[in-house]
Structure 1
Amino acid sequence: MKKIAFSIWQLKPVKWLRRIRGFKLVYTPLIAIVLFTVVMGVIMGTLQLQEKSQQEAALFRELSFAKQRIQLRFANNTDVLQSIGRDYVSAGDSAKLKENAIIQAENLLQSNHEMAQIVWINETNQRQWRIPADNLKTDWFNKVNNAGAINQALRKTLELSTATNRPAFSQFIALEVPSDEVISKEIRNVFWQTVPQISGNEIKGMVAVLYTTQGMLEMIPGELKGQYRFTLITDDDKVLAISSDKNTPKRAFSNQTSLDIGVLSPNLSLRIDTYPPATNLTFRMLIGVVLGLSAFVVWSLWSVLKQMQVRQEAEANLRAETNFRSAMENSTPVGIRAHDMNKAITYVNPAFCEMTGWTATELIGQNPPFAFWPEGKRDELTEKMNKALKTALSQEKKIGIEGSILHRNGSIIQTRTFISPLINENGKQTGWVTSLIDISEPKKIREELAASQERFVTVLEGLDAAVSVVSNETGELLFANRFYRERFGNSAKGHFELAGGNIVQNTMQELTEGSADLTPGIPPSSLYQESESEEIQLLDESTGTSKWYEVRRRFVPWVDGQLAQLLIATDITIRIEADDLARQQDERMQFASRLTTMGEMASSLAHELNQPLAAISNYCMGVAKRLQGNLDPTLQKDILPALEKASDQAHRAGTIIQRIRGFVKRSEPQRKSCDISEIINDAVGLVEIEAHRHRLSISSHIAENLPMVDLDPVLILQVLVNLLKNSLDSVREVYPLSSRWSAPPVKISADLDTSTFPAMLRIQVTDTGAGIADSVIERMFEPFFSTKNDGMGMGLNICRSIIESHQGRLWAKNQMDTEQTKLSGCTFTILLPLESPGSKSNI
């Protein structure tokens, strides 16, 4: 019994020693953490009190500095105002000296934003001048609601200065200004300062300055206003001005001081508020860190205790895992790694360590993104891994992810990773197993093939020709380069349009059926021969213009072994247009040659016809002179005017021929001041004979009081006669002879066109014929172009040349009927300048 008891007592100290050792192991760090927390709390509290004291001292210092700035500014302003008043009073009657004093006042006002207005008041209390005279601020001072209060405050301040013989300030004046005005905040509260000018104990005048309370805050430096908010308040805590509308925190520091800006100044206080919160964020973060560290240590101690309880079990599992890993390492050359349910790496084999260059110790425990992933692809690989892990359980086939691994030496290895669930012996998933295969070489080969194909496609995309391939069996567009897609879209429609339509498609199908009958192994070489180039014209639907293409096509075997048609179309529109332009140039050269020939003929005709026409005119005048006084008065009244008219027409014909000759020689019109109504009446008189012969009529409408115009009357008369004849011919074609009595007359009118500057003379000839076709109206003024069988095509060309030689314009415009369904005539319009230009251009 004694031995047994001895052994029991001998074991108790060992048990107690273990308990004490466990107590030290667990509670000693906990007591140390508590003591550390208490000490840190005391230190933090002391630092907070010290920081608060420093902030309050800095706040008082900045407030005192701002107060000194404002007081110093007002003292300087008072001295400058006294100097300006002294100069103005001492100037006497010198206007220049007074003007210099006013200029000094203007400079003072411009350099001090707190001043809104400066006024000079003489010894009789009359305002002699003020600056600024008129601006956005002074307009509100003169409003009915504000002028009374401002003037009353100024009058009281003047009385106070007069009584004390020293500068005085008025009470604060609240103005009525809408809040939406730009300067509403700036001039909301104002007050006066008067500075008397004393000479020989007499006040010779006063300088009155209107200050704004908001402007007083402009005296404070901007860097202070950025850190603090300054407010001007009265004794009854009424806010007069504030430096910022931004609210300060509830726990912000604040201080206030009385602002004495002068001897006789109203009571005014300056308050300063801090923007940052009173509590330092760093202090809170330190407290949070201390508490967090303490909690973390407590949790760590608790975790250690828990780990101690399962240590034996963990050692057994570790031995099993070690055997399992050894088997895997010795059985596979593929890189393998295992993950737990939290995606952390739990195992890597030597092959995987060789791929990454990292040791197993460094890799185990890493979470995605892993250190062996390239820096620029970590987000992409993390997303791929998460997606693969979600779908790994639902798919029987292993998931393959193509990625890359960054070796520790800096080299990149391209890999394909297969992921599958890791199931234990109880059928429960404990993580995932990933196997990696190095695919650097196969991928390099694929990339080279892709690059080669990309270069080939880039060359085709850069061609300025449409390249397209269409399946011979289905008619599907197999390939189209950039030029084809821009012109014809992504369908095979443009291919068949270039190839000749559906006929070519049917031909392709027949060739396919015919190729099936050929002997196997013998290529149908006749199918692959390139066709001759063809020029195809297509309409561009986007622009509405025609495009010309040079098309070459052939049949080729496609990559899948099927027969396909290759087509190459080159845009040759520019070349076709150049050929057309060359033909047009040839035609113009022919026209020029014909014009030259016509000019030579006109010159010869003018020379040959002048003498017969002169003889006719002389004979008519001679017959008229011999008949005068020898005929019966009644016969003389009928015969003599006819002979005179015949002579005038012969003279006119000779003048026209001279004008044509001058036109051929490129001479200037013989201008003179003319009445356009006379020229129009002469033209109507000349054409009316032919009009009556065809049972047609002409009506003229001439505006009243038209000015005289500088022009060549003979040439203008020639133009009007030509246009009237053309209009009569147009009406004759529409109305048959039996119904011409109901045809509307051909109208000729003259008025002023005031839509242009300067105004121009407008002459219009309007008919009710069939109008002019669009194709004709574009070329009707070209030489040798005529729609008449017996016409030479020179009439309208000469008319336009005559009008343009007068610096005018001539054009034609069709008219539509009331229902806007068909043409109902044409109007020729002439615009002529009222005055002859200084520089005249030749015909």
Structure 2
Amino acid sequence: MATPCPSPSSPVSAIKTPARWWRAWWRSLSPMRQDRFATLAPLAAVLMFLAAIVASFWYLRSEEIAREKEALKRDVEYAQQRVRLRLLERQEQIMRIARDLSNEELERADFVSRAEALISQYPELQSITWIDERRRIRASQAAPTVTSSQLRVTGEVLKTGEAADLFKQARQLRQPVYSLPTAGAGDTAPLLQLQVPLSPHDQFGGVVLAEYSIDSLLRYGTPTEVLARYAVTLLDGRGQVLAGTPLAPRHNALLPWTTKANAYAIPVSPVGNGLVLRAQAYRTSLGVVGSGLFWLVGSLSVMTSWLLIATWRHTRRRMRAQEALIVETNFRRAMENSILTGMRALDLQGRITYVNSAFCQMTGWTEAELVGQTPPYSYWPEGEYDKLHANLRDELSGKTVPGGFQVRVRRKSGTLFDARLYVSPLIDARGQQTGWMTSMTDITEPNRVREQLTASHERFTIVLEALDASVSVAPLGSQELLFANRLYRQWFGSQTGGHLEMVAQAGVPLSPSAPSGDDVGAEDDLLGLPVDPLARARAENAEIYRSDLGKWLEVRSRYLNWVDGRLAQMVIATDITPRRVAEEQAARQAERAQSVSRLITMGEMASSVAHELNQPLTAINNYCSGMVSRIQNGTLSEEALLTALQKTAHQAQRAGQIIQRIRAFVKKSEPNRTLANVHDMVGEALELAEIELRRHNVRLTHHVAARLPPVMADSILIEQVLINLMKNGAEAIAQAQRPPALRSVELRVVPRQVDGAEVIEFSVQDTGRGLAPEVLAHLFEAFFSTKSEGMGIGLNLCRSIVESHQGRMAAENLYNATEVTGCRFSFWLPLANTGDSAITSAATTYPRTTA
């Protein structure tokens, strides 16, 4: 039974989907027509794409023109505001000048100077002129750019013209007025005029005329970004260009309606419609039709329609896979060629299947020579085949060592080098092992460096063990002894007790956290500890005595970073017992020399001392003889006897004082430094030296400054120095045979400063013939003397005494033109309250001997 065909109006036909209609229509076409439609379909799609692109370009161009017009309007209004503000600022400054002129607070010279300052500061101002009420120019100042025809000459009357008309308008309105600028004739640049009236005592007193360069106003008043984007001009009321350059008309044969440039104009206040600011936008695009992108898109759409539609997906997948493969291959090849590690691949039978360039460079064989080789390989050294075969069997069986194993490799040239091999399994894409990958590293240089370091450590240990000084290193805050040489172990054993005891006894800080001097506050960025103790050893050395060793030790220390990063302290102790014994013997010898020197000095002064004692002894004898004779005669009264006895006692006391002073001077005693009064010390020396100077007929003068502070010194030793210097001066004068008027020795004691340290200077000046240059060079040397009977220990001993008191001694000749008129010896002693650091600095910088 046949099925009835449904009518078109039946519900079945109404519910057919578009897909069924499309398939039915496509099947009804012939294969040729199907191919034609298949060809036209991509073309239609491309044409529709091109139409959409053109419509999009046209819409974007319209939007761009609208945005350009809006931006142009906004920028021109902004530029107009800037020009307006600049005009108002200059107007306010001109009005200030006018106000000062009206109040008679500004003279002509002041007006000229202020006008000159404004013109030099603001380039748009060309001239400022002061005109009185009779239109006579009182003063005028113009810029160098103003032409001669535009200059205002002082004393002239304002000529009839625009300025005169503006003058009348200012007189009537009594307020600032601007002129209406017009384009200048010839080379004359147009100027904008501003006249501000003067009102002294509410009367019209003239005007202040300011002239602006419209071109400078445009150049400096318009923002730079506006000038960069637009062609900006200033026009007058009739549309004539006053400043700036307008754009030339555009010509486009295809689109004539696009020849007009995008422009916008606005009047400039406060000038009004007489000055208009106009901006024309530069052409920034070629339009829709002239756009290269439009034609490029259209051409590519036509030329690549089939490629873009028919093969896009297939080509995209293939290109992505190919690019990924190329990138991966290039990456791995670059990585293999850049590393210095040799790579070698073996199959499961031990045949070489791959070597990289680094492996070839290390062995000297090419890739073609190595690939395919089986054991024994060409780079195996002869004589080591058994060992290398065993290593290869372990390698192929999977018995690999995590740290690799070391072998010797032979180059093609026959030389050998040490290498370390690391082995890992080689897995293919299916997860099956196909062989072994071996990496080889040349370790010849690290082995050589390691051997050199071992030898260097042995040499370093031998040197430290052979030192005559004890060396020990211990970490801070720990009882561990990091290092000790042979002498330390011999003295203190292998414990840190000796190290810590030496540090404590020497006063070396156990922590470098308390620096001194200029380095206070300087800390290491990593450890947070001061830099100074870490960077260098202590500047001073401590000397200690170890009773358990019976030795004097010189202890030095410094802080260092140990090999494990810990902060440690190194102590170096040197045996200085022989030196201390020698110093003590030298001190005893110096003490004996001082005593001998005093005895020699008193021996030389013996006759003078005897003559000095003869006077009081003679006076005592005379007083006693007189009293005896007067008692025998019975003429001696009790009052006269008392007077004679008092005089006799005074003379006896005087003789006793001389004897006591001489005994104290020559008495051998230990150096005793105490707070000594400079006046008393100098007085004692003067009394003893005056006896010797009178014997040589030499006059002694002295000057001691008042209120001198005390010094820490041994008075007897300093007196010995002064007496020796004054006695030498007297002998030099006697040897020079000076006349009586020139026979004088002067002693001066004054305070002074030496490199910031307060000291007391003693100087002895004579009038002898001075010292020869060769004598000055060796003056203070031991056993050097200019006297035939001298021992050469006097001045050397004097210098030693002064330097033992932390002072310095010097000698120099005195000149009158080129003639030597005498010699001066000087030395200084530090005050008792002077700091040790200042004394040390002064004693270091002050020369030991001065010629």
| Shorter-chain TM band | 0.3 to 0.5
Bigger Rg over Cα: 2
Q: TM-score normalised to the size of structure 2?
A: 0.38
